[in-house]
Structure 1
Amino acid sequence: MFNNIRDLLFNLFIVFLPVIIYPYIMKRDRENGYTRMIIAVVFSFTLVVTMTFPVVLNGLTFDLRAVALSIGSLYGGIYVSLFLYAVVVVYRFILGSPNQLAYIIAFLPTFLVIIWFVIKFQRLSLIQKMISSILVYTSIRLISLTVYSYLIGNLSTLFNTNYPVFYGVIIVQCTISGIFVYALETFKRNAQMREEIIKSEKMKIVSDIAASVAHEVRNPLTSVRGFIQLMGKDDLKTSNRQYYQKICLEELDRAEHIISDYLTFAKPEPEKIEVIEMKNEIEYVANVLTSYANYQNVQIVKQVEQDELLVLGDKNKLRQALINIGKNSIEAMPEGGILTFTGHSINGHVVISVGDTGIGMTKEQINRLGTPYYSTKDKGTGLGTMVSFSIIKKMQGKIEVKSEVGKGTTYLITIAGFNVSK
């Protein structure tokens, strides 16, 4: 009895094997030739194994070949069905089963039934597919068995057999066919949903990139606009006008670099690594932000303890990160305040501090900084901060944020220093 149950469970496992490996064989429609070939191979294996290890229950010998044959035919199509029929016939001959010709003749009418169902199967609903699989199995089982028994002159055994066991086996196999179809269709529906989610995620990425480009380009354009306004003053000195013009051109170049970076997002170009003098960069960033700070009634203070604060990295991207952080700090002071840039060296590392006297942030807000679409501003996207954090991280640096509501926020940027003597 234990061996019989073991054989039955083994047959069930083999029959449901296609469901287990479904993600690998049924991701595409059955019209795809490669997919049909895989289906044919998998269900052929199922047929061979179930026919090799039949189940004996209360003197009745049976296997689950009809289940595998019906499901494989419905999902594989006419050509796969024809191949599976050939596998059954050939392997039955190899096993040395008697009355081979009678079995082939009894088997042929069921193929016509399967063809009729296969033509309509893909257009059916889930319930209709489950019913169709049960009908196909029942047709294969009853038609072939009845015709075969008649041809070998043993039709009476159908009526003398153990009815409860015989029809119980048929009912169980019908149930297995229905469950099989339900499982496959569930996997198929989930796979389609995953594909739709992937497509929507791709569209979201495109949207994120577009929004990020607009956000990043707006910063240099805002600076350019401010300096152009300053250049319009009649009493402006020639030296200042030339200096403002130089900054405008540099900011437009930075905007071009930003656009180029996003255009090559799928195929990033190598960064231009060079030695960066942080004192000069702090001076540059402070000058860029001057017009915007004046507009917001914010005073910029620069404090650098030593002349040589050297790091390695991409100068343009570092400027982009510092300007983003500085601009956010200015916007955090709607009533005006002080924006402070400091730089010093600690244990071989360069520490840049960007502090403001603005509204500050809670711990929850600090923890969410640098994540997409999170911003403390009403109309912010959070992409500028995310890009800044990413730039510092690529330079093997880190950003620590200290803030207190109502008192202000300080960004501590730590980057490994560069020693010229090495």
Structure 2
Amino acid sequence: MLDLRMVPLLIGSLYFRLSPILCAIVILLRGLHGIDLGFYMTLTINGILSIALWIVSPYFMRLKSKYRIICSSFLALIMSLFILLVVLNTSGSAHTLDLYIAYIVIPPLGIAIITYIIEAFEKINTQRKLLIKVEKKEAVEQMGAAISHEIRNPLTSAIGFVELLTREPLDSEKSKQYLAILKDELDLAEKIIQDYLTYSKPITEHTKELNIQEELPIVLKLLQPLANYYSVKIVSDLSSTSLIDGDRAKFQHTFINIIKNNIVSLTDGGVISITTKETKTKILITITSPTTENQMESKVLDTSIDFGIIRNIKGTVRTKRTEQETTYYFTFRKQKTSYIFW
């Protein structure tokens, strides 16, 4: 018989600091087999373990990845040796090779494998977050040039009206008219800057119900300066009014980056089409743009992270590419509508 209780006990205690709860569960399960000497031994050993692992856990989490693997395996080996000594001295078991393997090799090896998997997933998740930040920084830099160009127009108009107000004596009505135009131009510039700064903020985790018809226009409005800069026309038909469940910041970031990549690839201009449709259970978002020969491969690479984000917010992605155009199909599960009856 292999006693593998220490595997979840050690993992849960070291990574999540759940040693009091896990040790209590082990003691309770042992108690179901009867209150005898074995139960009291389990009570004593796990009582000490719960305190020891509770103290060790914070120091364990400060270690580097490879040292966490070594440390968890070493703790498992120490526990296995202790349990083996108890078994040999209380049950009269023979000193057989399979007994030593069962207690000294299997549990530490299992702990090492599970710890390695946890650390690998943690490393992948960290690298993925870093890639998202790098990708977003690149998008912000590209959009910055286009937005600065877009802001120049209202600021130029505003400067012109300021000069008119300072050079010529104007009647009250004319001055009010010029000041109103000046305010509108400055408000436009301020709105463009505000949208840009909002997108530049770090992404935070916040899941809520999203209205596609409200979120996509925000994305398209923010990308309009970049589209103008590259002489790209964005055509949209957003007919879906249903809700999906997802993170707003991630949703906007993903679609901004995907559409931005398509805009930047159209060096000679073109048309990008965004449409939404819905069925009884799903919402379909379609993005179509001309395919450029020199960037067919880079489009796939640039959007791989974004596709991963879409899948994380419970969406699916499908790509169809021809020599003439590239189409992305994004499918989301539609949220059920809640009805209130009076």
| TM-score where L is the length of structure 1 | 0.46
> What does 1:147-186 correspond to in 2, within 5 Å?
none
Equivalent residue for 1:271, pick from 207, 210, 231: 207
Contact 2:261 2:302 survives alignment (8 Å): no
Q: 1:199 to 1:405 in 2, by over 3 A?
A: same
Equivalent residue for 1:301, pick from 235, 242, 265: 235
2:262 aligned with 1:342, yes or no? no
**Structure 2 CA distance, aligned partners of 1:194 and 1:417?**
36
Equivalent residue for 1:39, pick from 84, 92, 101: 84
Q: 1:42 to 1:208 in 2, by over 3 A?
A: farther
Which residue of 2 is the match for residue 142 of structure 1? Answer: none
2:218 aligned with 1:284, yes or no? yes
* One-letter identity of the residue aligned with 1:256: K
2:201 aligned with 1:256, yes or no? yes
> What does 1:142-221 correspond to in 2, within 5 Å?
192=112, 195=115, 198-220=118-140
- Count how many residue pairs are aligned between Structure 1 and Structure 2: 248
Equivalent residue for 2:308, pick from 374, 386, 398: 386
2:258 aligned with 1:321, yes or no? no
> What's the offset of the Cα at 1:334?
4.8
Corresponding residue SS for 1:309? coil
Q: 1:311 to 1:224 in 2, by over 3 A?
A: farther
Which residue of 2 is the match for residue 114 of structure 1? Answer: none
> What's the offset of the Cα at 1:326?
1.5
* One-letter identity of the residue aligned with 2:319: V
Contact 2:81 2:104 survives alignment (8 Å): no
2:338 aligned with 1:416, yes or no? no
Which residue of 2 is the match for residue 228 of structure 1? Answer: 148
> What's the offset of the Cα at 1:340?
0.7
The gaps in structure 2 that reach 5 residues or longer are 8-71, 159-181
> What's the offset of the Cα at 1:421?
7.5
The gaps in structure 1 that reach 5 residues or longer are 1-16, 51-66, 69-175, 262-269, 366-374
Q: 1:236 to 1:42 in 2, by over 3 A?
A: farther
**Structure 2 CA distance, aligned partners of 1:419 and 1:23?**
45
Which residue of 1 is the match for residue 74 of structure 2? Answer: 28
Contact 1:221 1:251 survives alignment (8 Å): no
* One-letter identity of the residue aligned with 1:223: M
Equivalent residue for 1:401, pick from 313, 319, 324: 319
Which residue of 2 is the match for residue 246 of structure 1? Answer: 191
Q: 1:398 to 1:29 in 2, by over 3 A?
A: closer
RMSD across aligned positions (CA): 4.4
Identity among equivalent positions (%) equals 16
Contact 1:224 1:252 survives alignment (8 Å): no
> What's the offset of the Cα at 1:41?
2.2
**Bigger shift: residues 22-31 or 398-407:** 22-31
Q: 1:35 to 1:346 in 2, by over 3 A?
A: closer
Q: 1:384 to 1:347 in 2, by over 3 A?
A: closer
Q: 1:412 to 1:23 in 2, by over 3 A?
A: closer
> What's the offset of the Cα at 1:329?
2.9
**Structure 2 CA distance, aligned partners of 1:182 and 1:348?**
51
Contact 2:258 2:303 survives alignment (8 Å): no
Contact 1:359 1:408 survives alignment (8 Å): no
* One-letter identity of the residue aligned with 1:243: L
* One-letter identity of the residue aligned with 2:327: T
Residues 27-63 of structure 1 show CA distances to partners (whole Å, capped at 9, x for unaligned) of 435894x5443121233366x144xxxxxxxxxxxxx
* One-letter identity of the residue aligned with 2:218: Y
Contact 1:299 1:337 survives alignment (8 Å): yes
Which residue of 1 is the match for residue 30 of structure 2? Answer: none
Which residue of 2 is the match for residue 106 of structure 1? Answer: none
> What's the offset of the Cα at 1:339?
0.7
Q: Which has the larger radius of gyration?
A: 1
Contact 2:318 2:330 survives alignment (8 Å): yes
Which residue of 1 is the match for residue 289 of structure 2? Answer: 356
> What does 1:42-191 correspond to in 2, within 5 Å?
42-44=87-89, 48-50=92-94, 67-68=95-96
Contact 1:281 1:319 survives alignment (8 Å): yes
Contact 1:358 1:407 survives alignment (8 Å): yes
**Structure 2 CA distance, aligned partners of 1:384 and 1:404?**
21
